[in-house]
Structure 1
C-alpha cells in the first residue's frame, strides 16, 4: 500500500508523497520559483514559504534549486518531512490547497544551474558493444575499464531543459574511404539514454569525497539525454575524447528526484572483478532498480535497466574527486549510456542499429540507422518506492531540428 495523501494521486502515476521531486516552474507573467510535484499538480513552495507553511530561508523564491541544494542533507530531510506532513494530514488541506497548481498550467524550466558536467561510461554492455563495433578484432573493453569509472568533462552551458529543440550540429567528419575530411551537418546523430545525479553540498579542494559520504553531498537524480554526433565524434577523438560531437546539446528532465525517494530502489550492483581499489570500495549496495523506456516518435524502441550498470553513483563521485578536484553546487554527473544484454535494452542508436549495419524498424514501417530531422526522442524511467509505490522521473524529451545556416 502507499502513503495516503488528501491530494488525488494516481496509484501508478509515480508522483505520490513517496517521491515529491523538486523543480522550477513559472506561469505567464510570474517569476520562476521552486515547486514539488504531487499527483498532476505542482505545490508552489515559494507561496507555501510566504504563508509560513514551510521554513523560509530564501530557498524557494528563486529560479533555481541551487540555494536549496547547498543547504544540505538536514534541510532536505526537514523539508521533505514537512511536505509529507501537510500533504497527508487532512487538517492542513484548507491552508495548502490554494498553493496547488495543475501541472498543465505551468511551464517547467531547467531545475538548477549546472556548474560542471561529467559524463561516465559505466555500462559494461554498452562498452562491450561499442568495442565490438569499432574494434571487432580486439578485446572490446579497454584494459582500464574495470579498474576505474571512465568519463569525460562535458560543457555545462549546453545542458538544456526537457523540450528544448535540438539543432543538428555541423562539424568536420571523414567518410570511410575518403582521404580528406569534409564539413557539414552530422549524418549520424544519436541519443544516449542516461541517468544523472546532481551535487548540492560542495567539497574542499584537495580532498576527495569518499563513497560513504555520497548522501551528504548529492541532492538527487534526473534523466539525461547525451545527444551525440557520432561522425564528428569519431573523427575528432584521435587521440583525445569527445568534444564537438557531444558539446552541442545535453537534455535533462524537469524534476529532480531526491536521493531519499530512491532508498527503496537500491539493489546490489553487478559483481566487480577484479575488486576495485580501496577508494572505490562501497559498503552499501548502490545499484538502482530503475526501469528506463526510450521512445522515438512515440514508439518504444528500448527498455534499458539501470540495475546492470557496473560502476555505481558513489563510485563515480569518489573517482571524480579523488584527485582533489572540489565539488561544487550544481555539478552534474551522468552515468553514460544505459544498456542491457538484449537488443531491446540498448540505450542508443549506435547499438540499436549496430552503427547503421542493422537499421532499426519503427512501428510505422520506417527505419532508422541514426536520427532524422523531425524525430522526437523521449526517455522515461520509474523505480520502486516506499510502501509498494512507484517513483517516476517523468521524462526528458527533445526534437531534432535541421542545421541552421
Structure 2
C-alpha cells in the first residue's frame, strides 16, 4: 500500500493540523491549529509563526518583554514586606482620591478602586490562617509570582479585587487591557509603583497566547472572555473564572501559595522515658487540636532477628519497628500528641503507617503545587535516601585504604 502525502489534516471538520508540526504545542517548527468556540486557534508560540504581520510580532514581543520585567520587579517587590506594600497601596488610594477627574472615567468606578484598596489593606493585615482538608494549618503565605489579568471591554468586568490582592500579597501584575479609556489610568497607577510591578499590554490574541504558553504565569480571565483560552494549554489553576463578587478569602487564595506546616527538629521538652527525643514535631495542631510528632527508623531486612519472618511476609521488619516506636513513645502519645512511627527497611518495604502518612503529605504537595507528580517524586526521594544510606553503610565497612580513596579523584 502506498503512502498518501498531505500538507494539512483536518480535525473535527473545524480545525487543521500541519503535517510538519509535532502534536506538542511547544514544537519550534511547523504550525498547528485546532477548532474552538471562536474558530481556529494557533497552538504554537506567536513569535515562531512564519507569516505574522508587523503588529502581531510587536504585540508578542511586548508581552514577552512585560513578562521579563514583571519577574524582575516581583523579586524586589516581595522583599519589601507586607506592611510596606500595603502602605504603598494606601498612599496610591489617597492620590487617586485627589485626581478623579484626570482620566475622564466614571466616579463610581474610581471610587470602587479606592474603597477596595482601603478594604483589603485594612482588614487583611498579617492573617496567615489557612484550612485544608479539615486540618487547621497555620503557615506563611507566599505570592504566586507574575499574574496576568484580562480586563474585558466592559469596564464593570475589570477584576479590581484580584489586582489589588495580587499586588498586596507581593505579586507583580500584567494587565491585558481591552478598554482604551482605562489605559491611561493603569499606566498612571503603574508609575506610582516600583518598576515592573504593574504593567499594561494590549488585549489581543498575540498577548493572550504568549501569556498562556508561559507555564510559570498565572493567567486569570473574566466570565466573558474565558472561551478565548479554552483551546490553549493552560494549567488547571489558570482557568478560574474570577469576578468581583467573590469574597476576599477566595481572591486571596488565587494569588498566594501556602507553605508547608512548620516543624521543630528534635524538640526540647518532649522526650520519652529514656530521655531520647523524637525526630520532629509540628509547631501547630495537625488534627483535632493535637500537634504531630514523628520518629524515623530504618531496619535491616536481613538481620538475624527478622530474616525468618521477612522471607515470608513483606514489610514484617518495618511493621515490628513501627510497633516498637509506638511503645517507646507511649508517654508522648498519652500527652495529647499525634504520633507517627515511620519505619523503613533496607531492602525497600515501608510500614503501613509511613505509607499512609506520606500519601497525606503528597496529596498536600499536589494541592499546593498543582503538579500531579509531586507525590510520586516524594516517594522516589525517600527511596533514594534509603539507598544512599545503604551505600554509605556498606562503604563504612571497608578498611581505610589509599588505593580505594583514588576512586574519588578519577
- What TM bracket, shorter-length normalisation? under 0.3
Which structure has the highest helix share of the two?
2
User: Could you say which structure has the larger radius of gyration?
Assistant: 2
TM (normalized to structure 2)?
0.22
TM-score, L = length of structure 1: 0.22
Between Structure 1 and Structure 2, which shows a larger proportion of strand residues?
A: 1
